[in-house]
Amino acid sequence: MSKSAVTINYEIRPCKFVERRMLLASLSRILGAIRKDQEYQYIGFGGCSFTDFKLFHRELQINQMISIENGSYSEYKLELNKPFQCIKILRGESNTVLPTIDLSLPSLIWLDYDGVLQKYMFEDLETIFHTIPAGSIFILSCNRELKKGNYIELEGRITNKEDGKEPMSPEEIKEVFGDLVPFDIEPDACTPEKSFCTIKRMLDKKIRSTISDRNLSKDENTDFHLLYNIIYQEKRGAKMFTYGGVVCNENVNVDSISLDNFDFIAQKDSDVVYKIDVPILTHRETLALNQILFDTDKEKNFIEAKIITEKELTEYKKIYKYCPSFHDVRI
């Protein structure tokens, strides 16, 4: 089991909370447009919090849910923390469990890996995109760092701790991921500034290849419409990347759905990434700030009083609708 599954409560991570609420808001609109009378299943990694399961069951009315669990939590512990009877827990690695699931059903799938990109994740993509029907939604999250020390294949090249912190070279990432890597990868493709772009290109390539093979073998006209291209980092936390979209065909057209008022939705054929950055504010500051947002003079007063910087204000105005409000509730 990953360390974060034990040490991190994902229900109270601000950036993760904001991302989850953004996804929910857009998913609600997308499913409202394409769902019709179809029953969807949700597939994800519940852990012991099952946060996404609670949210999607209540807000999206999804009643068939599968949680893939490969950690050391006992079956009793998982069942005790499972919030709803409609959640089925399947034990094992995702690349062995996913082939056993009926993926021909309309699905919402969020593979929320907390580790760095690994080859088995592309196996999961191939399994999923070979089968899931049009109208299904696929989302993947992972740690976006492409450092040498994260990959066992490069152990022989690391002579000290500092070596492990260095980004991989084009030759090294090709050694780890083979032909999953685009042929024209740039020298700085694995740096912190470019790693998420590289991961996106690798995911794009694998999905295009899988869908192309599927269309040829099944005489279909399936495509994948990218909607989510998001990065964030919790304070002193991992650098995360989220990628996702909708499987389309001639009967499912995402362009016909009004998503323009969601500024986090990825633009078609664009590599522009959306960054979530949640300023550190007290509860009282948040309440006061919400009351004066978009009033230029009052915003200026907040900046001059050094309650918030201009940069933080700009970021906050992008995400304030989705921000959490945590309270200490004492019984």
Per-residue pLDDT of 231-286, as tens digits, reads 999 988 899 999 999 999 999 999 989 999 999 999 877 789 999 999 989 889 99
329 confidence band (pLDDT: 50, 70, 90): low
Strand partners, 233: 239
With a cut of 90, say whether residue 160 has pLDDT above it: no
- For the chain, residues classed under CATH 3.40.50.150 are 3-145+192-276
Give mean pLDDT, residues 204-232. Answer: 97
Can you give the length of the chain in residues? 331
Determine the Cα–Cα distance for residues 4 and 203; give it in Å rounded to an integer. 24
Q: Which residues of 59-69 are buried (b: 16+ CB within 10 A; e: fewer)?
A: ebebebbbbbb
Residue 300 gets the label, from left (phi > 0), alpha (psi -120 to 50) or beta, of alpha
- Outline where the chain has alpha helix (H): 3-7, 14-34, 51-60, 75-81, 94-97, 119-129, 161-164, 170-177, 195-218, 283-292, 296-304, 310-319
Q: What is the pLDDT of residue 154?
A: 84
Q: pLDDT digit string (tens) for 124-152? A: 999 999 999 999 999 999 999 999 999 98
Give mean pLDDT, residues 14-20. Answer: 95
4 confidence band (pLDDT: 50, 70, 90): very low
Give mean pLDDT, residues 302-314. Answer: 95
With a cut of 60, say whether residue 2 has pLDDT above it: no
Give mean pLDDT, residues 10-34. Answer: 90
CATH code assigned to 3-145+192-276: 3.40.50.150
243: Cα separation from own chain's centroid: 6
Percentage of the chain beyond pLDDT 90 is: 81
Please give the backbone phi and psi of residue 155, each rounded to the nearest 5 degrees, phi first. Answer: -55, -40
Q: What is the pLDDT of residue 11?
A: 52
DSSP structure class, residue 36: T
Q: What is the pLDDT of residue 8?
A: 47
Judge contact between 143 and 116, C-beta under 8 A.
yes
State the pTM of this model: 0.93
